[in-house]
Amino acid sequence: MTARQVAGRVVDAAGAPVAGARVTIVESPAPMPEMAILTGADGRFALNLPLGLFTLRADGDEGDWGMATFDSEEGAEIVLKVARRPS
């Protein structure tokens, strides 16, 4: 199975990096083990993923969250914007 490292960052509504955000895979083209990665102080993260369409979710530490869908074959940086969602 071919894999590619994909890079991304989590930002808040103002575009500032979100340190310590939890990034999880919500949807993938094939079964994946449940896993999460935390962003660094600069809001950045990297994952090795097989080729295909993925949806990631980021959860900040104040209940903020956001999702993004991307194709790992494209190699573009993933930006997940987190915001407080209405309940």
12 contacts: CB under 8 Å, gap ≥ 6: 18, 60, 64, 81, 82, 83
**pLDDT tens column, 8-23:** 999 998 999 999 999 9
Who wins on pLDDT, 86 or 38?
38
* Residues linked to residue 73 through DSSP beta bridges, in sequence order: none
Tell whether domain 3-81 is in CATH 2.60.40.1120: yes
Kindly report the number of other CB atoms within 10 A of residue 17's CB atom. 15
For 13, the token pair is: 């509504």
The pTM score is 0.89
* Residues linked to residue 46 through DSSP beta bridges, in sequence order: 7
Kindly report the number of other CB atoms within 10 A of residue 20's CB atom. 13
For 39, the token pair is: 């962003």
**pLDDT tens column, 17-74:** 999 999 999 999 988 888 899 999 999 999 999 999 999 999 998 889 999 999 998 8
Identify the band that residue 1 occupies on the pLDDT scale cut at 50, 70 and 90.
Answer: low
